[in-house]
């Protein structure tokens, strides 16, 4: 592939024992304080969650193949889409890139030996496992049927297993907060001398922006979920009007967290893409500063747009107008990033690799997801689209099309660093194309369905919607095949892939300045990099033609 650029001489002459091999017992993994091991364990857990959520997704798509009942009862359908949403949002997307790649890479990228609080990091992992077990336990008990949003008063009155799910998500929230705190402290206190704020890797900026939202917004979610649990158990009237409560209060509190949370899901992916456009095109980031400031802008404005989820809830007309305009501000920040990425790629020396294929998919999907976001932020249009498949398609474009693509880009790009092996590149590119195609086939029909009036969360529908549903299910099965293929060739590559050099992409990032996989203490000496990690226009850096 690429010739090595800044391969450290030591990595070849005296390969030190790697973090994978330093101690081999299960106990040493379970009690480790090494951010790299914790990141790898998170990665394994998250891939399992993605698989579990994916199984429910496919079950839902099979049910929707025919207008009437196909494989499950209405009751089972409600439980399946709830579990799909809960698992995908809280057990996969929210922690996905920060807990796995963030943990593995952030200390390496700031030239540190570990995160600021290594023990707290291990606690985050345990809390995640505890919360996930509670949710999966509820699943075995029959599952909940509230949807991932737990809207009241249904969630406080349905007899399904809501309580363990609420508490499980609450516990996972703690894991998120602790991880965010750890990253903020690490960025503030542990950067190597050359890692100044304005020379910090763009992925680190993405994770930093995300951490701020995690720390500020997640407590609101934790509180409101506890209140729902309290209402269920103690019967006090907080949200249920029959008991004197206010159901809209719930929606405000929930979306005050959950709108910013969509940026928890997408900012890390934006960080990955900002990092990869430079490495894959051999060019400096076009407007590093704009990328940084728009990251912080998104993190800030994201807190003031929650009301766009409540346009049809009886909000004041003035409120609707304010939330509509504020929502559009977010789109401006996103657009700034898109221009910076496209401008970076423009006239770069580009080699088609799997990470680049996912990055291009990401850019395409976030543009469409973002533009349809602006469309639903127009309150008058949202009267028509609210609670239809149009919204389902909008958020899947961003959550799957952008966030998940970025996760896959990261997985391929950093795989050699994490495991010291390469995956088969040609196969990777082929599967990436299958996935992008499967994604388009799955979600474009859903925009059309929504615009024709197909409501979301329904197991049955009029016959005229069937052909589009069949197209969507066909696309989803391609996606399923693609993910399975990735799982198979990456697991194969762990043992049989070609051995990776320290810097197989000829990247300028700090993480490539140590051997692959890195030694337990990351670097033999503090890495120096006066040019910064995104400078490709310096003499001696190889270009790919």
List residues near ligand HEM by CB under 6 A: 149, 262, 265-266, 308-309, 327-328, 330-331, 370, 373-374, 376-377, 382, 385-386, 391, 394-395, 398-399
Give the one entry of ligand HEM, Cu ion, none that residue 79 binds, where binding means its C-beta sits below a cut-off of 5 to 8 angstroms depending on kind: none
Residue whose CB is less far from Cu ion, 135 or 262? 262
Least spacing, CB of residue 186 vs Cu ion, in Å: 29
Return d(Cα 283, Cα 125) in angstroms, integer.
36
Whole-angstrom Cα distance, residue 57 to residue 169?
20
Name 40's Cβ contacts closer than 8 Å, sequence gap at least 6: 100, 104, 418
Nearest to 418 by CA among 516, 273, 533, 313: 516
Binding-site size for Cu ion (CB under 5 A) equals: 1
Cβ at position 146, least distance to ligand HEM in Å: 12
Closer CB to ligand HEM, residue 248 or residue 474?
A: 248
Q: Provide the phi-psi class of 2: left if phi over 0, else alpha when psi is between -120 and 50, else beta.
A: beta
Q: Which is nearer to Cu ion, 191 or 259 (CB)?
A: 259
How does DSSP assign 461-484, residue by residue? --GGGHHHHHHHHHHHHHHHHHHH
Comparing CB distances to ligand HEM, the nearer of 45 and 391 is 391
Q: How far is the CB of 209 from Cu ion (least distance, A)?
A: 17
Q: In the bound complex, which residue of the shown chain has the CB atom lying closest to Cu ion? A: 259
Is the Cβ of residue 369 or residue 445 nearer to ligand HEM in the bound state? Answer: 369
**Among ligand HEM, Cu ion, none, partner that 163 touches (CB below 5 to 8 angstroms by kind):** none
Question: Smallest distance from the beta carbon of 102 to ligand HEM, in angstroms?
Answer: 18
The 3-class SS string of 406-420 reads: HHHHHHHHHHHHHHC
Rounded to the nearest 10°, the torsion over CA 422, 424, 428, 430 is 170
Helix (H) or strand (E) holding 175: helix 162-189
Residue of 19, 59, 54 whose CA lies nearest to 39: 19
Residue 5 or 391: the one with the smaller Cβ distance to ligand HEM is: 391
Quote the least distance from Cβ 380 to ligand HEM, whole Å: 12
Please report the DSSP string for 510-539 in residue order: GGGGS-SSPPTTS-SS----TT-TT---ST
259 near Cu ion, judged by CB under 5 A: yes
In angstroms, what is the minimal distance from the CB of 270 to ligand HEM?
A: 9
The residue with its CB nearest to ligand HEM is 373
Give min distance, CB of 32 to ligand HEM, in A: 32
Compute CA distances 406 → 126, 144, 414, whole Å.
25, 30, 12
Could you say which of ligand HEM, Cu ion, none residue 331 binds, taking C-beta under 5 to 8 angstroms by partner kind?
ligand HEM
**Chain contacts with Cu ion (rule: CB under 5 A):** 259
């Amino acid at each position: 592939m690429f010739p090595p650029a800044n391969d450290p001489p030591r990595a070849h002459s005296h390969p030190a024992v790697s973090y994978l091999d330093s101690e081999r017992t299960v106990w040493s993994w379970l009690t480790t304080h090494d951010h790299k091991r914790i990141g790898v364990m998170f990665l394994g857990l998250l891939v399992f969650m993605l698989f579990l959520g994916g199984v429910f997704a496919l079950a839902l798509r099979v049910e929707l193949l025919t207008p009437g009942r196909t494989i499950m009862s209405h009751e089972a359908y409600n439980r399946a889409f709830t579990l799909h949403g809960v698992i995908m949002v809280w057990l996969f997307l929210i922690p996905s890139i920060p807990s796995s790649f963030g943990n593995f890479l952030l200390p390496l990228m700031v030239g540190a030996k570990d995160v600021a609080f290594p023990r707290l990091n291990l606690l985050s992992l345990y809390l995640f496992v505890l919360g996930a077990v509670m949710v999966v336990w509820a699943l075995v008990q029959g599952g909940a049927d509230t949807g991932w949003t737990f809207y009241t008063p249904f969630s406080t009155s349905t007899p399904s297993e809501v309580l363990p799910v609420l508490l499980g998500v609450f516990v996972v929230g703690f894991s998120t907060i602790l991880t965010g705190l750890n990253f903020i402290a690490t960025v503030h206190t542990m950067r190597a001398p050359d890692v100044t704020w304005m020379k910090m890797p763009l992925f680190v900026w993405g994770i930093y922006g995300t951490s701020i939202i995690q720390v500020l917004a997640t407590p609101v979610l934790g509180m409101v979920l506890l209140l729902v649990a309290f209402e269920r158990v103690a019967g006090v009237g907080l949200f249920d009007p029959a008991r004197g409560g206010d159901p809209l209060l719930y929606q405000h509190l929930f979306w005050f967290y959950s709108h910013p949370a969509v940026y928890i899901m997408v900012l890390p992916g934006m960080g990955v893409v900002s990092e990869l456009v430079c490495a894959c095109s051999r060019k400096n980031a076009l407007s590093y500063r704009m990328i940084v400031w728009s990251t912080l802008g998104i993190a800030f404005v994201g807190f003031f747009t929650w009301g766009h989820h409540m346009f049809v809830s009886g909000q004041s007309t003035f409120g609707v107008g304010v939330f509509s305009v504020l929502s559009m501000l977010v789109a401006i920040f996103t657009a700034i990033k898109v221009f910076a990425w496209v401008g970076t790629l423009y006239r770069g020396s580009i080699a088609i690799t799997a990470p680049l294929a996912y990055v291009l998919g990401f850019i395409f999907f976030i543009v469409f997801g973002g533009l349809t976001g602006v469309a639903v932020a127009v309150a008058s249009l949202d009267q028509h689209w609210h609670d239809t498949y149009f919204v389902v398609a909008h958020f899947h474009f961003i959550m799957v099309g952008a966030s998940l693509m970025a996760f896959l880009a990261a997985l391929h790009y950093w795989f050699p660093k994490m495991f010291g092996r390469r995956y088969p590149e040609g196969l990777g590119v082929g599967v990436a194309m299958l996935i992008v195609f499967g994604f388009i086939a799955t979600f474009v029909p859903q925009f059309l369905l929504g615009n024709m009036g197909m409501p979301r969360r329904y197991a049955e529908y009029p016959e005229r919607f069937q052909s589009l549903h069949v197209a969507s299910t066909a696309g989803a099965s391609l996606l399923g095949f693609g993910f399975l293929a990735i799982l198979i060739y990456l697991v194969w590559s762990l043992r049989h892939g070609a051995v990776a050099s320290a810097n197989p992409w000829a990247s300028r990032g700090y993480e490539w300045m140590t051997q692959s996989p890195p030694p337990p203490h990351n670097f033999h000496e503090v890495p120096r990099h006066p040019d910064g990690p995104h400078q490709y226009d310096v003499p001696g850096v190889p270009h790919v033609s």
